Amino acid sequence: MDKKEERELAQRLVAEITALAETTGRKLRFMEVCGTHTVAIFRAGIRQLLPANVELVSGPGCPVCVTPDDYMDKAIAYAQHPEVIITTFGDMLKVPGTKSSLSEAKTNGADIRIVYSPLDSIQIAKDNPDKKVVFLAVGFETTAPTAAATVLAAEQQGVKNLFMLSAQKLVPPVMEALLSDEQVHVDGFILPGHVSVVTGTGIYEPIVQNYHVPGVVTGFEPLQILRALYRLVKQVAKGEAKVENEYEDVVRPEGNPVSQRITDTVYEAADTGWRGMGIVPLSGLRMRAEYAAFDIEQVMPLPAGELPPAKKTACRCGEVLRGIVTPQDCPLFGKACVPTHAIGPCMVSVEGVCAAWFKYGQGRFEYGK
Amino acid sequence: MVSDKVTLAHGAGGKMSQELMEEVILPAYGNPLLEEMHDGAQVQMNGQVAFTTDSYVVQPLFFAGGNIGKLAVCGTVNDLAMTGAIPRYISAGLIIEEGFPVKDLKEILATMRQMADEAGIYIVTGDTKVVEKGKADGIFINTAGIGDVIHGTHISPKNVKPGMKVILSGYIGDHAAAILAGRHGLTLPDTVKTDCAPLCHMTKAMLEAAPDIAVLRDPTRGGVAAVLNEIAVASDCGLLIDEEALPIHEEVQGVCDILGFDPLYLANEGKCVAFVPADEAQGVLSVMQANKYGRDARIIGEVTETAKGQVGLRTAIGGIRVVDMPLGNLVPRIC
C-alpha cells in the first residue's frame, strides 16, 4: 500500500469511528497497556485524528515506569556491595529510586553493566567467578521467557554465581485491578501485540466477560491501531464485549506454548507492587522454590536498615499510569521534569507516557486537528 | 622516499616533513597558490567575504561512498554555500596518528583534491601534525574556507515569513545510515551510501533564480529536525511539514527501524533545506531538479503564522505531531 492509499484508508476508518461513536451518545475512553503502542499512537498523531468524544489514555504499559521505587532501591543497594555485578537493560539506569539511581551508583564506582539480552549475563558470570552477577529481571510476559531461559541455561552449565532480582509483571491482573478501581474509567482496551504473541488471546477472555469491557489485540502500525479502535467503538456501539484479534498474522489464540512452558518452569504467580497501584494480587512472577538458588533476595537478603524510607514527591506518575490524570496535570511536567532532567520514571523511559507526550508535543501544539 | 607509515618525524618540521609535503601532499593538492609555499596564501576576493571552519573526526574513516577527506572539503564548501557565498579557497589542517598508513593518507588527499576540483576551489594553505599512537584516531582534519558572498542575496532566518515554502533537496539520512551500517557491521545494498557532495553550484543557481531565498541550511548533525527547529525559533514562525513528502530510502528506513532512529534526526552531508517565497518556489525547485544533487528535490512543507517556534509534522495517516529538537548525541562522530 502506498502512502496515499494509507492516508485515504485512515480517513475512512476515522470517519467510521466518528459515526459509530456518535451513535453511543457519550464519551468513550480507550486505554492501551503497552509502551510500544503509546509511542506508536503519538508518533502517528492518532489522538488528533479522533473525534472529541473518543479519548485515548495510556495505562501501565511501560515496564520501566511501573517498577516501584523500592525495587530500584533494592537494585541500588545490591549494586553497592563490592562482590556484586549488576547486569541490566540500559533504560533502567536513570530510573529514580527513593534517593538515587543506578546511574548515580555507577558513577560512584558500582559495577553495573548494560546487556542486550539476559543471556549475556551468563558469560559475565563465567568471566567473574568470584563475583555475584545479578540481572535485573523486569518486564512483562514478553521478557519473562528469556529471563527464565537464562536461569535454566545457568543451571545446565553449572553457573552458580548468576542471580535474578525479579520484578516480572503480568498484564491481565493489572487490567483487572484497573477495572476494579473506582477512579479509573475505561470503555475498552487496545491489547498489547508483543505480550499477546507469548500469552495468546485466551487469557483476556475472563476479564473482558466479567467486566463487560471489550479488548482488541493489535500491532504497531498506525492503520492497525485505527482498525483496533474501530472494532472497539463498534463493540461498544452494539453493547458487546469480546476479545478480538487485529494482529492475526502474528498472534495466535493459544500464544507461544514453548515460551509459556519455560516461564512456568522457573516462575510462579505472586502478589507484586506496582508504581502508583500498590500491591496487586498475583500480578507478578516470583521464582519457584526449586530455583531459589538463583534468587538474589533469597541467597543474599538485604538487611532491613539498608533500604531508604519512602519519600513524598510531587511527581504524579502513579496516577498517570492509571490513566486518572494526564501528564499535563502534573505540576512537574515540562517544567522541572523534562527528558534531559527527568524526575519521574514516565519521563525517563522512551516508552513512558510523559516522555511520549513531551516528545511528540501532545498538549503544546497549536495546529489542532 | 616516504615510508609506508606516517611517523612522528613527519610532523616535526624537518627533512621528513618536507618529504611528506613534497611526495604526498603537494602532488595531491597541487595548485599555484599553494606551491608558493609561504606561511600563508595571498588571495584576491571580490567584496563581502564569507568565512567558516569545521573539524572532522568521523569514525570509520572510510565508509560507503566516501571518506573523511570528502567530508572535510564538502562540509566547508557547503557551509560557505549555505551563507549565500561562492566558495573560493580552503585550508586543510591534518592531525595524524603515528603509524597511519601513507596509502590511506594518499587516498584521503586524492579525494579532497577531487572534491575541491568539483567545487571549483583551491586548497591554498595547510598544516600537518603527527601525534603519538593512541592520541588520535587515525586522522582528524580541520578545514576553513572563504568565499565571495553573491551580490544581492541576504540569507537570514529573520527573513523567514509565514507562507514561505520549505524545500528539501533530496533523500534524507543516507550519510548517517552509511556510517551506522559501517559501524554496526550491517550489510546494505549499494544504494545506501553517503550523500556527501559539494552543493555550491546548485545553491548558486538557486540564488540566481531567486535572490529572495530567506534561508539555506545543510541538515548535518541533528538532521532535518534540528535545522527546522532552529529556523522556527530564530524566525519566530511555525513550520508544518508533510511526512508524505519526505524522501526516505526504504533501506535507510530499515536501518532506522533496526537501530531505533528517526530519519528526520539523521545527519546528511549533501542536502540542503531552503526557505523560499511561495511565488518563487516552483522556479527554485526546477533549478534544483536540473542539478544532479537536487534531482529529488521537493516541497516538504510551509511556514505558518501559528505555533511560533514549533515544528509540526502532518503524519502519513493525516494526524499531527511535533518534531522536537534532538535532545543529545544521537550518533557520535558522524562527521
* ipTM of the complex model: 0.77
Q: Cα(A188)–Cα(A185) distance, rounded to whole angstroms? A: 9
Please give the helix or strand (H or E) that residue B55 lies within, else none. Answer: strand B49-56
pLDDT surpasses 70 at A254: yes
Q: Cα(B75)–Cα(B271) distance, rounded to whole angstroms? A: 11
The mean pLDDT of A192-196, rounded to a whole number, is: 95
Domain co-membership, A240 together with A328: no
pLDDT surpasses 90 at A237: yes
Domain co-membership, A215 together with A335: no
Q: How many domains does chain A have?
A: 2
pLDDT of residue A348: 87
Domain co-membership, A255 together with A351: no
CA B35 to chain centre: 27
3-state class of A269 per DSSP?
strand
CB contact under 8 A, A367 and B307: yes
Tens-digit pLDDT profile for residues A24-42:
999 999 999 999 999 999 9
What CATH number has the domain bearing residue A50?
Answer: 3.40.50.11740
pLDDT of residue B328: 65
Domain co-membership, A211 together with A104: yes
Lowest mean pLDDT among A71-80, A167-176, B116-125, B324-333: B324-333
Partners of A223 on chain B (C-beta within 8 Å) are 317
Q: How confident is the model at residue A368 (pLDDT cuts 50, 70, 90)?
A: very low
Question: Residues in chain B with pLDDT < 70?
Answer: 1-2, 328-331
Length of chain A equals 369
Q: Cα(B95)–Cα(B140) distance, rounded to whole angstroms? A: 5
Domain co-membership, A212 together with A327: no
The mean pLDDT of A64-68, rounded to a whole number, is: 89
Q: How confident is the model at residue A97 (pLDDT cuts 50, 70, 90)?
A: confident
Taking the CA atoms of residue A53, residue A56, residue A57 and residue A63 in that order, the dihedral angle to the nearest 10 degrees is 170
Q: Are A269 and A170 in contact (CB under 8 A)?
A: yes
Greatest pairwise CA separation for chain A in angstroms: 67
A310, part of any domain: no
A365, part of any domain: no
Closest residue to B317, CB basis, from A7, A361, A369: A7
Closest residue to B327, CB basis, from A44, A339, A361: A339
B-facing residues of A in 48-87 (CB < 8 A) are: 48-49
Partners of B320 on chain A (C-beta within 8 Å) are 45, 48, 365, 367-369
Q: Are B225 and B325 in contact (CB under 8 A)?
A: yes
Domain co-membership, A275 together with A321: no
CATH 3.30.1330.10 residue window(s) in chain B: 8-149
Tens-digit pLDDT profile for residues A270-289:
999 998 888 999 999 999 99
Lowest mean pLDDT among A208-212, A221-225, A342-346: A342-346
Domain co-membership, A154 together with A253: yes
3-state class of B326 per DSSP?
coil
User: Residues 6 or more apart from B43 whose CB is under 8 A from it?
Assistant: B33, B88, B89, B124, B146
Beta bridge partners of A102: none
Domain co-membership, A328 together with A295: no
A367, part of any domain: no
Rounded to 5°, angle at Cα B248 from B247 and B254: 165
CB contact under 8 A, A223 and B328: no
Q: Which residues constitute the domain of residue A347?
A: 317-359
Q: Cα(A335)–Cα(A344) distance, rounded to whole angstroms? A: 12
Q: How confident is the model at residue A113 (pLDDT cuts 50, 70, 90)?
A: very high
Fold designation for B8-149: 60s Ribosomal Protein L30; Chain: A; (3.30.1330)
Q: Cα(A204)–Cα(A243) distance, rounded to whole angstroms? A: 7
The mean pLDDT of A40-52, rounded to a whole number, is: 92
Domain co-membership, A245 together with A114: yes
- Between these two residues, A3 and A36, which has the higher pLDDT value? A36
Domain co-membership, A68 together with A125: yes
CB contact under 8 A, A367 and B313: no
Domain co-membership, A255 together with A345: no
pLDDT surpasses 60 at A365: no
pLDDT surpasses 80 at A202: yes
CATH 3.90.650.10 residue window(s) in chain B: 157-322
Q: Which of B45, B20, B19, B49 is nearest to B33 (CA)?
A: B45
Partners of A354 on chain B (C-beta within 8 Å) are none
pLDDT surpasses 70 at A340: yes
The mean pLDDT of A142-167, rounded to a whole number, is: 96
Length of chain B equals 335
Cβ of residue A94 closer than 8 Å to a chain B Cβ: no
Lowest mean pLDDT among A85-99, A288-302, B127-141: A85-99
CB contact under 8 A, B315 and A44: yes
pLDDT surpasses 80 at A183: yes
Q: Which of B65, B67, B331 is nearest to B195 (CA)?
A: B65
Greatest pairwise CA separation for chain B in angstroms: 67
Distance from CA of A12 to the nearest CA of B (A): 11
> Which CA distances in Å does B235 have to B157, B158, B159, B219, B303?
5, 5, 7, 17, 10
Q: Are A364 and B312 in contact (CB under 8 A)?
A: no
Domain range B157-322, its CATH number among 1.10.3720.10, 3.40.50.150, 3.40.50.720, 3.90.650.10: 3.90.650.10
Domain co-membership, A294 together with A327: no
**Which of the 8 DSSP states describes residue A344?**
S
pLDDT surpasses 80 at A363: no
Average pLDDT value over all residues in chain A: 92
Distance from CA of B313 to the nearest CA of A (A): 9
Q: How confident is the model at residue A369 (pLDDT cuts 50, 70, 90)?
A: very low
